[in-house]
């Protein structure tokens, strides 16, 4: 009777061990199988890029950033005086005639209105608190006030502020509040891989430094809102680089 009892004990221990191992394995797999997705901490960005084509040398590239750029600083008393000395939009370099798409669903406020960025422009109200303004367009957009547009719909063709199509063709893109008094950084509202886009670009990537506060407003994302007609934000006592004529 001893031998069968030992076999029974061995069998019992082996089953017990297997059960314990199974429980450990189940325990390990539970958190990944049944755990809830981590809470979304970042706010979803409501808008898409203004071009359907991917970026590249034959399509479009990121040009001048929004905000406290060196170019805006140097031209704060002329081009950018209305926006507190900031570049109050985003420049996207593109050959003339590149199709521009709406950042989001919305209603056209108007084409060729008093919104700057000659020779042609377009303003769309997205009815989510934001409006988008597309500037330096090639021609008057074929849309009129009140027209409904869908996100991704072609709404205009890109042009050149000098109307030459070979000097500095680009889209100047602004995001304004619904009251049309505030400009904000489009990068924080358009869903795109901005860090990668910023690796290649044409000009104006640098941000002006105030040597008295050298880390202020130095990244893509950390740029101040601009208030139309507000005082200069970059009248620095110790600017770097120093101001120089248009570049």
In the complex, minimum distance from the CB of residue 87 to Zn ion, in angstroms, rounded to a whole number: 6
For Zn ion, the closer of residues 89 and 186 by Cβ is 89
The binder of Zn ion chosen from 120, 126, 172, 176 (CB under 5 A): 172
In the complex, minimum distance from the CB of residue 136 to Zn ion, in angstroms, rounded to a whole number: 8
Segment lying near Zn ion (by CB under 5 A), choices 10-18, 169-177, 209-217, 237-245? 169-177
Number of residues in contact with Zn ion, rule: CB under 5 A?
3
Is the CB of residue 137 less than 8 Å from the CB of residue 156? yes
Tell me the two tokens of residue 184. 């904000």
Interaction of residue 174 with Zn ion, rule CB under 5 A: no
Segment lying near Zn ion (by CB under 5 A), choices 26-34, 85-93, 101-109, 155-163? 85-93
Segment lying near Zn ion (by CB under 5 A), choices 4-12, 28-36, 161-169, 170-178? 170-178
For Zn ion, the closer of residues 215 and 247 by Cβ is 247
Interaction of residue 91 with Zn ion, rule CB under 5 A: yes
Interaction of residue 136 with Zn ion, rule CB under 5 A: no
Binding site for Zn ion (CB under 5 A): 89, 91, 172
């Amino acid at each position: 009777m001893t031998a069968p009892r030992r076999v029974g004990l061995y069998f019992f221990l082996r089953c017990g061990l297997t059960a314990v191992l199974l429980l450990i394995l189940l325990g390990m797999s539970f958190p990944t199988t049944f755990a809830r997705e981590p809470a979304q901490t970042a706010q979803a960005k409501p808008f898409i890029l203004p071009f359907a084509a991917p970026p590249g040398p034959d399509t479009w590239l990121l040009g001048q950033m929004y905000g406290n750029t060196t170019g805006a600083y140097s031209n704060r008393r002329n081009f950018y005086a209305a926006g507190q000395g900031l570049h109050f939009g985003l420049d996207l370099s593109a050959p003339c005639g590149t199709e521009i798409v709406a950042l989001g669903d919305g209603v056209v406020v108007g084409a060729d209105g008093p919104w700057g960025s000659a020779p042609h422009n377009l303003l769309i109200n997205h009815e989510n608190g934001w409006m988008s303004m597309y500037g330096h367009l090639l021609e008057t957009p074929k849309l009129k006030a009140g027209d409904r547009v869908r996100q991704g719909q072609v709404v205009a063709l890109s042009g050149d502020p000098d109307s030459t199509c070979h000097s500095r063709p680009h889209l100047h893109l602004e995001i304004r509040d619904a009251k049309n008094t505030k400009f904000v950084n489009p990068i924080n509202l358009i869903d795109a891989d901005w860090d990668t886009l910023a690796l290649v670009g044409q000009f104006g990537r640098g941000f002006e430094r105030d040597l008295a506060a050298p880390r202020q407003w130095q990244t893509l994302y950390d740029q101040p809102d601009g208030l139309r007609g507000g005082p200069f934000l970059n009248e620095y006592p110790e600017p770097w680089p120093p101001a120089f004529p248009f570049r």
